[in-house]
Chain A
């Protein structure tokens, strides 16, 4: 029985391949049960996001399962294996545990520390549970992963600081205004950057969007998209009076907003704070505007600089997170091995005991004249022999520092003594009994 991950992510596969291999959420149930019907598979779960497609599986025969899963991916997505085989990675055993813990804690994400992945992992797990394809081991593994993610979030500051230009801008707005709600935004320009900013701000919950542009028609059409208000370029000052946040991204070759004008506007605003975000190159807002009281001016370089600094902090926190992951991996591996070791030991003991009993009974039936006392001595003798023989190998198996080898030993024991392979459920029961 082996833990397996077969998958690809943003580091190993280009977006075209990832898109082709992605599973739609609506078809997930079908995909899961198709994969489940592979005979070598015990449990499975599929995580499919825009950055990764991964199949988590518990398998009886690793090699066969891997072959089957590759076929399954190729068949399901109607894409020849050779087109994506190189992008695939295979993880087994302890690596799987570490990988899932790292994914859940967002240490494996494109932007380390972004929290979305945890939600995606949770819904992937829910789908697998509902489809009945996840079993006891995945159940335990995923719950541990959620626990690790929570630990990482509370014990490190990995997700605390903004690492993209837009999230830095939102953070700054929050430091000035306490939040985006009820804020009015003036967008100067109508290019792609402005549209992107508008989308971001709407999602952030701003109350009102004003748009101004040299070509009025484009301002109108952009304002229409966001239920905003278009302002003629010559009347930009009207917008400056109303807005709390001003985002400017035009290709003008000179300053659109200068100091003198801003001082005047501030007076009319009764000094209500205003936040300029100048993402134009060359600049749209005269730098000295930022010196005026209650005016905060950040240009794209300022934002980028903060984002970079925060990224460095995040990397530092990520190292702490890795240590937490390692600690948790060790714990999980202990549990998992106990799951394997205990039933094997029980099975081995049972087998020896049965042999001893059988042989003893045979002997008693050949020699019925043996006295009760003699019989008891023989019982004791055979028991002692069995126990002495088993003592060393069992001690060795239970040794924690032999972890790396114990799997090999277990396999050897099972093969040499032809021990029955228990299902996960039986193991759990045996585990609890023991």
Chain B
């Protein structure tokens, strides 16, 4: 059942991405409304996928890479739908839906069997840790996308172009606001994610912090975002610098999430596949 909903939502994300892209090309309002509708349906189906998997497995389905990727994608789409209410940036929709789609396809290629829960994951704190961490990551994904769009728009403005691309991109101010807002939401979430992770680690391994690669990298990511926030508030690192930082931060997020699992051995390796 959960696989059925999962596949269905992947299909809707694909259609949503295509609809957003065609809106960017043809600039028809109808297309963007359609895209939002399609993605909303995809999100609903995705929610059902996670819910049914929860019921079928008997635990919160964030225990292996397939589940984590799916959960991450679900959060990203959720954030997109929320951001859509306020910002109405269609280009963002294209980027975020596309990223969600890639994560879904990746998840699709991984083993999906529901296995008995590993003992270390049997913790009250684990789902909270995952929830905060991925919600934070999803918000940072949003910042990453607005950072990329910012750099494109800024390049257009600096090189004094006002062509077809310019018409399709939001203003620098909106993109920078979005970046800042994402930072102010994402940073506390990341912090909560790390704290709940530490609490869970205490239950699972009997220590709060053990410098395992995942822990180390999440701390590096935390410092990156802390620095970003600090620089922004004190010396006004905004605009281009903030956009670049959002991109660097996201790469660090992705490395912490995927790179560590795939490349570096450590305690989090239970979630390899």
| Interface flag for A298 (CB, 8 Å) | yes
**A75 to B171, alpha carbons, bound, how many Å?**
55
| Interface flag for B153 (CB, 8 Å) | yes
| Interface flag for A217 (CB, 8 Å) | no
Minimum CB–CB distance from A260 to chain B (whole Å) comes to 19
Contact for A176 among B160, B167, B173, B241, CB less than 8 A: B173
| Interface flag for A175 (CB, 8 Å) | yes
Report whether A294 and B239 are in contact in the complex, using a CB–CB cutoff of 8 Å: yes
| Interface flag for B263 (CB, 8 Å) | no
Report whether A175 and B236 are in contact in the complex, using a CB–CB cutoff of 8 Å: no
Output the nearest chain A residue to B162 by Cβ-Cβ distance: A306
Minimum CB–CB distance from A433 to chain B (whole Å) comes to 40
Output the nearest chain A residue to B177 by Cβ-Cβ distance: A178
Minimum CB–CB distance from A304 to chain B (whole Å) comes to 11
Residues of chain B within 8 A (CB-CB) of A271 are: 235-239, 241
| Interface flag for B268 (CB, 8 Å) | no
| Interface flag for B172 (CB, 8 Å) | yes
Listed from nearest, the 4 A-B pairs whose CB atoms lie closest are A270-B236, A178-B171, A271-B236, A178-B173
Contact for A269 among B27, B173, B174, B236, CB less than 8 A: B236
Bitwise, B140-184 to A at CB < 8 A (1) or not (0) is: 000000000000010001101011001101111110000000000
**A160 to B174, alpha carbons, bound, how many Å?**
21
Residues of chain A within 8 A (CB-CB) of B153 are: 175
**A302 to B159, alpha carbons, bound, how many Å?**
10
Output the nearest chain A residue to B28 by Cβ-Cβ distance: A154
In the complex, besides A176-B157, A269-B236, 19 extra interface pairs with C-beta distance below 8 angstroms are A157-B27, A175-B166, A175-B172, A176-B171, A176-B173, A177-B172, A178-B171, A178-B174, A270-B235, A271-B235, A271-B236, A271-B239, A272-B236, A272-B238, A273-B172, A273-B173, A273-B239, A296-B157, A306-B160
Interface residues of B (CB under 8 A from A): 27, 153, 157-158, 160, 162-163, 166-167, 169-174, 235-241
Output the nearest chain A residue to B157 by Cβ-Cβ distance: A296
**A172 to B199, alpha carbons, bound, how many Å?**
51
**A305 to B160, alpha carbons, bound, how many Å?**
9
**A306 to B161, alpha carbons, bound, how many Å?**
7
Minimum CB–CB distance from B231 to chain A (whole Å) comes to 10
Residues of chain B within 8 A (CB-CB) of A175 are: 153, 157, 166, 169, 171-172
User: Which residues 132-169 of A have a CB within 8 angstroms of B?
Assistant: 157, 160-161, 168
**A271 to B236, alpha carbons, bound, how many Å?**
5
**A164 to B91, alpha carbons, bound, how many Å?**
27
Report whether A293 and B162 are in contact in the complex, using a CB–CB cutoff of 8 Å: no
Minimum CB–CB distance from A50 to chain B (whole Å) comes to 29
- Contact A294/B162 with A175-B157, A178-B173 known, Cβ cut-off 8 Å: no
Output the nearest chain B residue to A293 by Cβ-Cβ distance: B240
Residues of chain B within 8 A (CB-CB) of A59 are: none
Residues of chain B within 8 A (CB-CB) of A272 are: 236, 238
Contact for B171 among A174, A306, A309, CB less than 8 A: A174
Output the nearest chain A residue to B241 by Cβ-Cβ distance: A293
* Cross-chain pairs A/B with CB under 8 angstroms, 6 sampled: A178-B170, A178-B172, A178-B173, A270-B235, A270-B236, A294-B240
**A269 to B241, alpha carbons, bound, how many Å?**
15
Residues of A in contact (CB 8 Å), total 28
Output the nearest chain B residue to A307 by Cβ-Cβ distance: B162
Residues of chain B within 8 A (CB-CB) of A172 are: 157, 162
**A326 to B173, alpha carbons, bound, how many Å?**
43
Minimum CB–CB distance from B160 to chain A (whole Å) comes to 5
Report whether A310 and B173 are in contact in the complex, using a CB–CB cutoff of 8 Å: no
**A302 to B156, alpha carbons, bound, how many Å?**
13
Report whether A293 and B171 are in contact in the complex, using a CB–CB cutoff of 8 Å: no
Residues of chain A within 8 A (CB-CB) of B157 are: 172, 175-176, 296
**A268 to B171, alpha carbons, bound, how many Å?**
23
Minimum CB–CB distance from A196 to chain B (whole Å) comes to 21
| Interface flag for A171 (CB, 8 Å) | yes
Report whether A293 and B239 are in contact in the complex, using a CB–CB cutoff of 8 Å: yes
Contact for A310 among B162, B169, B171, CB less than 8 A: B162
- Contact A294/B158 with A160-B167, A175-B172, A178-B171 known, Cβ cut-off 8 Å: no
Contact for A177 among B163, B169, B171, B238, CB less than 8 A: B171
Output the nearest chain A residue to B176 by Cβ-Cβ distance: A273
**A137 to B150, alpha carbons, bound, how many Å?**
53
Residues of chain B within 8 A (CB-CB) of A267 are: 235
Minimum CB–CB distance from B258 to chain A (whole Å) comes to 32
| Interface flag for A115 (CB, 8 Å) | no
Minimum CB–CB distance from B242 to chain A (whole Å) comes to 9
User: Which residues 151-209 of A have a CB within 8 angstroms of B?
Assistant: 157, 160-161, 168, 171-172, 174-179
- Contact A309/B173 with A176-B157, A294-B240 known, Cβ cut-off 8 Å: no
Residues of chain B within 8 A (CB-CB) of A160 are: 167
Residues of chain A within 8 A (CB-CB) of B239 are: 271, 273, 293-294
**A290 to B159, alpha carbons, bound, how many Å?**
10
Contact for B162 among A157, A176, A178, A309, CB less than 8 A: A309
Residues of chain A within 8 A (CB-CB) of B174 are: 178
